Chain A
């Protein structure tokens, strides 16, 4: 975004307009259009009637958008969309806050507190990173069902909070946090807890926002765990609700696409307004992984 103003133009670029540059630009434009087609299809189909979608001729956009689809979707009793949205919002927000709190405190403790066995604890955390995430769903299901948290908000949220990878990222970040700031706080009589909350956290806004946005997106879009845990319709998240409409034979096409649009909207807002943090989060989580 801002990088092109700060950095000198790469030497690889030719001076002045050249055919290579134009071809490059055109190729990017074609690809951009291809990448946007699925979004266009969601919007088009969400605002069409079923007859329009399945009509033999290609239709670019419905002449009179079927706004009534929106009301239909939220009043249809067989499709608990409002409830699913509420569940997804609760799960994503609680997961983000919980992960941030637990992983930041653990990361700080591991990075800064001179406890004799801190290294051993850190190795335990690293060892759990070696267990491939997705295959633990069978063991975790076993645990959650014996706790009686099936189809329960607790089962959807709590087991996902203890993210070893995020704790690891936090530890790495706090290791590079300027020590002088904390030492000044120590002189002022603050303990570890005090300097963590008053000095370290307020000065780590960008890092924490990046982690938060990535966690939120991951939680909102996750499917396997909510599918395993959310057995009753009351506990479905948006993704699970959507998947059941997809496999049901009776649902109307336009409603299906409208539901997809609704499921995607919150994240489109995140992309519009928080993309900076998201990009930073991707660079952080990816490059250290």
Chain B
């Protein structure tokens, strides 16, 4: 997303260069060659992304229950949209997402940056540590949800978390089965953190290695102390572009959170993010494809607005000229 404007300019540079060489007869051949390369991909994009989105927009104005081709009598106008927007369950799912993002974005960011800084300093077994922190990325959310639910945060006494709490004399906690107190957030956030943190850590490590050493040297000459001072005045400002990108990526990934919510707390209505809600509406027992489509489009619009605001707020301009 962040890339779009940055590449607009070099698109012209990339294709225009040979243009004077193309002769009149060659032009048609160039077009044919181009479509030979790009055509199959573009057709697929049309059939599996562009047309479905349009079709879905059409369906969102119909009562399309269990059908993908509704009859004109099923036309409901903006009915699905008002139904969706006034549905308390949909509103709840937006609140759930906001709470989730408020936890996961700062925690993942701080944790991955911290790990990258620690790895950058360590002298022994650096490759080993990096592999260990990155390894959970090989684990699917389904497998992780299984371990989190059945072993670590199992609500009975043989669960790992309860075994550890027992050592300190704390009673068993039903982690996942009660919305109040909301212990399930600890389960959900720790799971996603475990899987993702290594991914963002690698991005930060790559960025840390790009920082020119002479900046630090100059700072020491000027009397700066290594540690806090150089971190706030050199490291962090130099990581700005990567930090913006990482924040965006964490947030975009959070919008798409589905697997762990469905498997861990899918039956708890107060802990349903929008995607799980949409899935259960449009593909559950009743296939309410009309309302589901309306919900998907509302969500897409909300994401677009937030992304634009975030871009303004964090200042894309700066990351673009890299």
Contact = CB atoms under 8 A, between A and B. Distances in A.
Q: How large is the interface on A (under 10, 10 to 19, 20 to 34, 35 or more residues)?
A: 35 or more
Contacts of A35: 132-133, 135-136, 194
Q: How large is the interface on B (under 10, 10 to 19, 20 to 34, 35 or more residues)?
A: 35 or more
Interface string A132-175: 11111111111101100000000000110110100110001001
A261 B292 CA distance: 35
Interface stretch (B79-87, B102-110, B142-150, B181-189): B142-150
B20 to A, nearest CB: 9
Contacts of A243: 142, 262-263
B283 A162 contact: no
Interface string A1-36: 101100110111110000001001101100110011
Contacts of B156: 54
B304 interface: yes
A132 B15 contact: no
Contact of B158 (A55, A158, A246): A55
Contacts of A268: 138
Contact of A271 (B138, B200, B203): B138
Interface string B1-40: 1111001001110111111011000010011011011101
A130 B1 CA distance: 6
Given A13-B121, A56-B157, A247-B263, A136 B19 contact: no
Given A8-B213, A132-B255, 20 more contacts: A21-B122, A58-B158, A109-B38, A113-B37, A114-B22, A115-B30, A119-B11, A122-B11, A132-B252, A139-B56, A140-B52, A142-B55, A217-B138, A243-B142, A257-B146, A270-B138, A278-B137, A283-B203, A287-B242, A289-B3
Interface of B: 1-4, 7, 10-12, 14-19, 21-22, 27, 30-31, 33-34, 36-38, 40-42, 44-45, 47-53, 55-56, 59, 68-69, 115, 118-124, 126-152, 156-158, 160, 163, 194, 199-200, 202-203, 206-207, 209, 213, 216-217, 220, 226-227, 230, 242, 245-246, 248-249, 252, 255-256, 258-259, 262-263, 275, 278-279, 282-283, 289, 292-293, 295-296, 299-300, 303-304
